[in-house]
Copies of this chain bind each other. A is one copy, B any other.
Amino acid sequence: MDQNLQQLNPEDSEIKQPQVYQILRQAILSEQLKPGERLVERKLAMQLGVSRTPVREAIRKLESEGLLKHIPRKGVVVARLSPQEAWEIYHIRAVLEGLAARLAAEWITAKELEHLEKLIAEMEKAVETKDLNYLNELNSQFNEAVYGAAKSPRLKQMISNLYDYIVSFARVGYSLPGRIQEVLAEHRALFEAIKKGDVEEAERVARKHVERSCESYFVRRALAEQEDAERLKKSRNYPHL
């Protein structure tokens, strides 16, 4: 627990709960608060410079989104995804994004379509210059644009929520060789389907895309665990550490 969380301004008369929520959410997604780590209301309240109530409510909200796990009379811990849960989430996302793509293919406007096209072009440039950070940013924008085109706020909301779970791992999903090109091709195929207004194709492509992401997530996760095991093996040689 290093815990140098951003502090709230005490004289800030804004409503504090949403700010606390944002800070905690960021801390969890950035893994400043690590999976399995315990959150203590009073400590967080002290650190943030507010009373327990806003912290409490923020925690409850994060809990209902699934980022925290609450054990009655014991407290809350940062949720740790089991492989089974990660698989579930990816497959739920797959069908939801499929639906979003279908709706987008049906309802997209000329202006939105143009925006998507620009994003695709930008992505191609970013792939060539291997600017992974920018590519990630563009990726999010592309997804956002598709969800927006679907004209279904609730669907968009649900997808974003699910997206949060795996954001930390997904970010490094590109690290697999060849995956970058694959992702680009998949996005392009989705764009084409939406442009044609082919709802079936759009749904199929989007769904497949998420399923592929799921696969590379598990490959990535397996690699990470292998690395962990190696580290562990090494550290056994130096038990005093």
Contacts and interface: CB of A to CB of B under 8 A. Distances in A.
A92 B158 contact: yes
Contact of A154 (B72, B88, B153, B154): B88
26 contacts: A15-B72, A15-B73, A56-B57, A57-B60, A60-B60, A60-B61, A61-B64, A64-B65, A66-B154, A85-B154, A88-B152, A88-B154, A89-B154, A91-B99, A91-B103, A91-B152, A91-B155, A92-B96, A92-B99, A92-B152, A92-B154, A92-B155, A92-B158, A94-B99, A95-B95, A95-B99
A96 B66 CA distance: 18
Contacts of A96: 92, 95-96
A173 interface: no
A219 B61 CA distance: 36
Interface string A156-191: 001000000000000000000000000000000000
The oligomer's copy count stands at: 2
Contacts of A61: 60, 64
Interface string A70-97: 0011000000000001001101101110
